[in-house]
């Protein structure tokens, strides 16, 4: 992997919005690896070189729908093929807390991916998809992605980014299959360990009946004796008492 791109919108008014999840990942990667990102007018982006791997880190400084130009310019200058590029971006189809890696595929209406695919002439670059959730209505998507996530959503997104950063050394080493396996396994393990998660087999509102306590042998004998005595009392009450037998 020779180029890692984070997608977002430049400017302070956008830096904390959902659409900038790709920026958040690359910025954290740069901070953790002490990679300096400098504004490069030629590439219209913030650019840095990851020291241990030699990969380039890129944050386009155009708006989202023009993200492809900086990617195409740097890739062309350094002879980087689409399959050697990883693009980190926000993903509406995943809930906050989910991060997945894949290569190629559709762009699902994402304007940044749309421009990158058009500029590169290929969908074969890799994607690191960071879940931000969906507003539930297509008409609300534009406002949704340009708003800040709730504190709980932001915490879940940050946790997903942290898991993604753990597997990036595998990505940079070219072991994409290993990275995918590790990242997706970590996610499933995290879901399984969340407290209070209901069993999918349980029906909503179903309350289990308490089990009857086990009876001891002594208790069972006592109950039988009591039932026998009660039955005898009832018979004496409702049946006529038999008199002495008459002599013939």
The CA-to-CA distance between both ends of the chain, in Å, stands at 119
Strands of the sheet with 99-103, listed across from one edge: 38-40, 45-49, 56-60, 3-6, 85-91, 126-131, 99-103
Counting every residue written for the chain, the total comes to 248
| CA dist., res. 233 & res. 174, Å (int) | 89
Catalytic residue, chosen from 19, 50, 89, 110, is 19
Residue 135: partners with Cβ closer than 8 Å, 6 or more residues away: 141, 143, 144
| CA dist., res. 128 & res. 179, Å (int) | 11
Residue 234: partners with Cβ closer than 8 Å, 6 or more residues away: none
| CA dist., res. 211 & res. 8, Å (int) | 57
Residue 175 neighbours by CB distance under 10 Å: 15
Between the alpha carbon of residue 14 and those of residues 4, 24, 177, 216, 247, the distances in Å are 21, 12, 33, 70, 116
Residue 19 known to be catalytic: yes
| CA dist., res. 111 & res. 89, Å (int) | 11
Residues 3 and 26: beta-carbon distance below 8 Å: no
Q: Which residues are catalytic?
A: 19
């Amino acid at each position: 992997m020779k180029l890692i791109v984070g997608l977002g919108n430049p400017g302070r008014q956008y830096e904390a919005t959902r659409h900038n999840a790709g920026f958040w990942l690359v910025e954290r990667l740069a901070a953790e690896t002490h990679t300096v990102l400098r504004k490069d007018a030629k590439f219209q982006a913030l650019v840095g070189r990851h020291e241990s791997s030699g990969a380039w880190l890129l944050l386009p400084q155009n708006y989202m729908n023009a993200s492809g130009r900086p990617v195409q310019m740097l890739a062309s200058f350094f002879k980087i093929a689409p399959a050697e590029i990883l693009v980190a971006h926000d993903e509406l189809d995943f809930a906050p807390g989910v991060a997945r890696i894949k290569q190629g595929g559709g762009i699902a209406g994402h304007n940044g991916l749309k421009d990158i695919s058009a500029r590169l002439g290929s969908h074969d670059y890799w994607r690191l998809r960071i879940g931000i959730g969906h507003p539930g209505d297509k008409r609300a998507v534009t406002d949704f992605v340009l708003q800040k996530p709730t504190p709980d959503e932001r915490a879940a997104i940050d946790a997903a980014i942290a898991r993604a950063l753990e597997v990036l050394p595998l990505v940079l080493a070219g072991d994409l299959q290993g990275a995918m396996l590790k990242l997706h396994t970590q996610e499933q393990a995290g879901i399984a360990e969340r407290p209070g998660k209901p069993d999918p087999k349980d029906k909503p509102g179903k309350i289990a009946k308490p089990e009857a306590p086990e009876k001891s042998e002594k208790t069972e004998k006592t109950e039988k004796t009591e039932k026998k005595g009660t039955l005898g009392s009832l018979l004496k009450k409702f049946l006529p008492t038999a008199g002495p037998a008459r002599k013939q």
